[in-house]
Amino acid sequence: MNRSGMRRRLELVGYVLGAAASAVLVGGSLLHRLPMDITEVLGFVTGAWSVWLTVKENIWNWPIGVANSAFYVIVFAHARLFADSGLNALYVILGLLGWYWWLRGGENRGVLHVGRTSVTAGAVLLALGVLATLGMTRFLTSVNDSAPFLDALTTVLSLIAEFMLARKLLENWYFWMTADVIYIGLYAYRSLYLTSVLYVIFLTMCVAGWWRWSAVLRLGRAEIAPEPIRA
């Protein structure tokens, strides 16, 4: 069996195992076999799938990601992480926009391909990020958020990353990885242990995503093709 065939077989095994694990988590929560809220479980499952599909450049990461964001609007509101709750509401909008851009945002309204962020665009995004973090920290402090600076910082990092992801820019992974490291500790502090574990998985997937997208740019799209894109 050639390398391509072996890779596809391993990916198929991964999909099967992922589906089985998802069914166990959801079923265990519904049957009260696991001490976890069903909304957080559904957020965990859809979140893991959406990031994995993003790594594979599969268009279905967007509808699953929209569902993930909707679940976490509820989870974070209950945990009094108001910025994260609002962030996920914005993710629903950005998810729909990213879905469209990946399908029609390329040349001649075609499929969008992986690209790089220009120096000018990167500088503008970083400047906006600093200003937004400072302003949001003050606001969250005034409404008694449980972790105002970290909540603001991760919110801004995630919004920048989501926008860059929607435009399929390689550097989105750097922002996601930075935010994920902070999120792991923040959610563990708020006793959202399953969500904290999810972000450990996210961090690992982000590294894989950076590697794969870098290879796409380095070797060309004929060498590492994305998952089939279907509307």
In 3D space, the residue among 89, 83, 88 whose CA is nearest the CA of residue 148 turns out to be 83
> Using an 8 Å Cβ cutoff, are 170 and 213 in contact?
yes
End-to-end CA distance of the chain: 31
Taking residues 58-74, report their average pLDDT.
90
Q: What is the pLDDT of residue 210?
A: 93
- pTM for this model (two decimals): 0.77
Residue-wise pLDDT for 93-122, tens only, equals 999 999 999 988 777 777 888 899 999 999
* Whole-Å CA distances, 118 to 73, 80, 170: 32, 37, 11
* Whole-Å CA distances, 131 to 14, 86, 117: 41, 18, 20
* Whole-Å CA distances, 67 to 25, 77, 93, 185, 226: 17, 16, 11, 24, 23
> Using an 8 Å Cβ cutoff, are 83 and 155 in contact?
yes
* Whole-Å CA distances, 111 to 106, 114, 228: 5, 10, 11
Instruction: Supply the DSSP symbol for 47.
Output: H
Helix (H, G, I), strand (E, B) or coil at 115: strand
Phi, psi of 115 (to 5 degrees): -140, -175
Query: Is a pLDDT exceeding 80 seen at residue 80?
Result: no
Mean pLDDT, the chain, integer: 81
Q: Confidence band (pLDDT; 50, 70, 90) for 230?
A: very low
Q: What is the pLDDT of residue 224?
A: 41
Query: Is a pLDDT exceeding 60 seen at residue 59?
Result: yes
> Using an 8 Å Cβ cutoff, are 40 and 195 in contact?
yes
> Using an 8 Å Cβ cutoff, are 33 and 187 in contact?
no
- Residue 3 tokens, joined: 């390398």
Q: Which contacts of 180-186 are long-range, i.e. CB under 8 A and separated by 24 or more positions?
A: 180/206, 182/150, 182/153, 182/154, 182/157, 183/154, 186/81, 186/147, 186/150, 186/151, 186/154
